[in-house]
Structure 1
Amino acid sequence: MTVSTASVPIIDEAAAAAYAAQQRAHDEAYRRAHGGADRPPLSRTRVYAALLALALGGFGIGSTEFVAMGLLPDIARDLLPGLYASNAEEAIGQSGWVITAYALGVVVGAPIIAALGGRMPRRRLLLWLAAGFTVGTIASATLPTFELVIAARFLAGLPHGAYFGVAALVAASMMGPGKRGQGVALVLSGLTVATVIGVPVITAVGQAAGWRAAYLLVAALFAATFVAVRILVPWQPGDANSTVRRELAAFGSLQVWVAVAVGAIGFGGFFAVYSYIAPMVTDAAGMPSATVPWVLAGMGTGLTIGNIIGGRLADAGTSRAMFIGFGGLIGAMVIVGLAGQYPVGLVAGTFLVGFMAAILSPVIQTRLMDVAGDSQTLAAALNHSALNVGNALGAFLGGLVVAAGWGYLTPAWVGLLLALGGTVLAVVSVALERQVSRGARGASAG
């Protein structure tokens, strides 16, 4: 049995029909899997409890992805003691591989796990992914050598994209047409809240009790996610028609590639600024180093608010929402670039960078689901591969201009160029969508 349609706003007949067909298929799959029993109804309270359970996983993911940035000196001191004693700067630079290895795991794991796990019931797949996070994070905290920790971080990153992808599909199914974007945003809110609360708190734990204690705390979050998902997330079938070939067929769609590129290039602009926020605060704006966590918390607050608004904008139409997000992001980059030498300008500008970038996250996630056809599991996961490509691209290009001696605010201009690139790709994506729509109408008329 499905959620009462009285609580589901229907935005058009096609969306309503597709949702009704999906729910009938879920009802039938439930009966087959549970001896003919009907699927129990979902109250609004149960739906939001399930979304909070999924968001808890996002909170753990945000914590494990970003906490290393504040603990690199501690990691270098522990895992590379000889090098740290002779050249601390080089040791800290090498310890950055714990961040890179995780990001590579995300990029590799998202399409592979999504393609292989498309047929698995979604709650079961989420439980396996939460277990993988838990084991990988415990290994990261306990393995003795630098090389083994790097390998563990890679393995811990593998479930990242698939978790968010499957969780987005579960959320979209529970919320129904007209609220899919809001469901996706609620799942992603765990990650954005982690940037405000989880990362500062866990970083403080790591600085006081050691970086390994910080990762053990993150592992506890993933174990709690396993329990919460098992108890609160309702059973949903996988896609019975999913095959590796069908999921990978998404890579044959130009629309999917363009949507992925929109995310990778556009989010690269955000990461160009985020990666160099500390020297922007201390060197460009002349603020004390103790204010860096507060500026990061302000940026995280922008991310959290923007994510919520982005979900609502996505439900109103992803095309318009992309241009709103990129237009605002370009403006925010200009503020950082021109006024970042003043504390008020930097704080306001970085808040807006986070706010506008977060608007784009659920929008692009929803757009990928819209254009992927039958490859829903893979498409929902690809957004997070795109985010991590953007992470690497923005940090790399921002580092080039900083290393060239052009100043710590120049990454904002790199971010502006990348945001402009994302805007151009968004125009291409909308043009392709209209071309496909005209072709479909022509075929129908013929």
Structure 2
Amino acid sequence: MPIAVIALSLSGFAIGVTEFIIAGILPDIATDLGVSIPTAGLLVSGYALGVVVGAPLLTVLAARIERKRLLVQLMGLFLIGTLLSALAPTYTVLMAGRVISALAHGAFFGVAMVVASGLVAETKKGRAVSMVAAGLTLSTILGVPAGTLIGQNFGWRWAFWMVVVFGALGLAGISALLPRTPAPEGASLKTELQVLRRPQVLLILLTTVLGFGGVMTSYTYIAEMVTTVTGFKPSAVTMIMVLFGVGMFVGNLASGRLADRAPKTAMCGSLAALVAVLAVFTLTVHDQIATCVTVFCFGAATFATIAPLQMLIMAKADGAPTLASASNIAAFNLANAAGPLLGGRIIAAGLGYAALNWAGALVSLAGLILAALTAAMDRTTTPTPRPATPATTPATTSSTDH
């Protein structure tokens, strides 16, 4: 894998810590800033909505900018938001800092994944995309647990200062290692927006929103869940985050290889696994050992969805993949915004933290149904080439899994 892809992954690591760190230090933030747990959970939703807005908007506005320069600028914007979060004296300022960081998030990954796929051979594009996403998974194995530990012992602000350091290293890596990459020829607002009118592109975006929405309904409140329901001490939350992160790393790498060979199979299979794991978590959350095993599987199923969904939407958006790629990142984060809202309603209704898991399973099930519909549409619209013979009826249609 080219070293430039590793540089993109390093930046993804910093961004991933900022995105996921709230789940580990959410109780500390709520106590320090004097807000409720559901209100603190909105910091996840606010970040996610920032990605939803920033991903397509900045991608379109920057359609003609050279890719290396654009990625450097986006990382600079991300660092400004993270610095504001670290210094935030109030909940409102913290929310503002997270939104600023989030504006750069979606556009960065949308551009980075397209750039990474262009640096490797056709047969390795899925692995290049998963390598960029691997920065996110490593952030949950190393960054989020470290940030959680630092936040619990020295104050939650220090977790954001840690992110500032990693973000600066990522920015330096891009500046030094990424080759100059011109914007796609013919890139324009019109050509990029036309892609979003394609039915299968829209269907994949909706699949992403629903499939991943179930994840954040449960994951956002996992610190409270495992301490109040499972019975873990607060100090064990770091271990839970590590298990989730290791699962994400394993699931991401495995799905990258499968996405190169059969992306539709990888998409449907990962979503089916996610539905099953969330449903089982409703029961296993009451036992500590079973919870540890389930959390690992939860992480694996969660990030197994990313590479195939990104590969499919880039394929369906052939000719203008950057906006489609960024829009799918936005779709993931629309799910990130909706999940905490649904979870907060469930908690406020008194249904209990365990109920977050079966609710998440139902949301992800809707995504699985749409994924199956996407695969079925391909089978009915992709013709199988056959030699012409004068005495046969027209050939039936079928599809390969690509």
TM-score, normalised to structure 2, is: 0.89
Pick closer, same or farther for the CA change 1:440–1:211 going to 2, 3 Å: farther
Alpha-carbon contact 1:319-1:430 (below 8 Å) kept: yes
User: Does residue 58 of structure 1 match 2:12?
Assistant: yes
Matched, 1:202 2:147: yes
Over 3 Å counting, the alpha-carbon distance change for 1:159 and 1:260 in structure 2 is: same
Letter in 2 for 1:268: G
Which protein has greater RCO, CA pairs closer than 8 Å, 6+ apart? Answer: 2
Contact 2:211–2:364 (CA under 8 A) maintained in structure 1: yes
Q: In structure 1, what is the Cα distance between the partners aligned to 2:133 and 2:23?
A: 20
**Unaligned stretches of 5+ residues in structure 1:** 1-43
Which residue in the other structure is 2:335 paired with?
390
Q: Supply the distance in 2 between the matched residues of 1:146 and 1:178 (Cα, whole angstroms).
A: 47
Contact 1:270 1:354 in 2 (8 A): no
Report how far residue 186 of structure 1 moved.
Answer: 0.6
Residue 410 of structure 1 corresponds to which residue in structure 2? 355
Aligned residues: 387
Quote how far apart the aligned CAs of 1:390 are: 1.4
- Measure the CA separation in 2 of the matches of 1:338 and 1:180: 38
1:420 to 365, 383, 386: 365
Contact preservation (8 Å) 2:232, 2:288: yes
**How far did residue 209 of structure 1 move?**
4.0
Identity %: 37
Q: CA 1:395 to 1:93, structure 2 compared with 1: closer, same or farther past 3 Å?
A: closer
Determine whether 1:268 maps to 2:222.
no
For the Cα contact (< 8 Å) 2:195–2:201, is it kept in 1? yes
Offset at 1:278?
2.4
The offset of 1:314, in angstroms, is 0.7
Moved over 6 A (4+): none
- Aligned counterpart, 1:287: 232
Q: Could you say if the C-alpha distance between residues 272 and 117 of structure 1 is closer, same or farther in structure 2, counting changes exceeding 3 Å?
A: same
Q: What is residue 390 of structure 2 aligned with on the other side?
A: none
2:80–2:100 CA contact under 8 A, matched in 1: no
Q: 1:220 to 1:440 in 2, by over 3 A?
A: farther
What SS does structure 1 have at the residue aligned with 2:196? helix
Secondary structure of 2:353's match? coil
Q: Secondary structure at the match of 1:406?
A: coil
**What is the CA distance between 1:439 and its match in structure 2?**
11
What's the CA shift for 1:354? 1.3
Matches within 5 A, 1:24-173: 47=2, 49-72=3-26, 74-75=28-29, 80=33, 84=34, 90=36, 93-142=38-87, 144-173=89-118
- Deviation string 1:272-301 (CA, Å, 9 cap, x unpaired) is 221232233223323333222212211111
Give 1:308 deviation, angstroms.
Answer: 0.4
SS at match of 1:178: helix
State the one-letter code of the partner of 1:157.
Answer: A
| Aligned counterparts of 1:145 and 1:283: Cα–Cα separation in 2 | 27
Structure 2: distance between partners of 1:339 and 1:146: 34
For residues 165-214 of structure 1, give each alpha carbon's deviation from its aligned partner in whole angstroms, at most 9, with x where no partner exists. Answer: 11111111112211111101110111111111101212333344443333
Measure, in 2, the Cα distance between the counterparts of 1:75 and 1:272: 19
Instruction: Give CA-to-partner distance per residue, 1:222-246, whole Å, 9 cap, x none.
Output: 2211110111112221112010111
Amino acid at match of 2:302: A
Of stretches 284-293 and 225-234 in structure 1, the one that deviates more from structure 2 is 284-293
Paired residue secondary structure (1:71): helix
Whether 1:302 aligns to 2:247 is yes
Using the alignment, how far apart are the partners of 1:150 and 1:353 within structure 2?
A: 28
- Unaligned runs of 5+ residues in structure 2 are 387-393, 395-402
Match of 1:324 among 259, 265, 269: 269
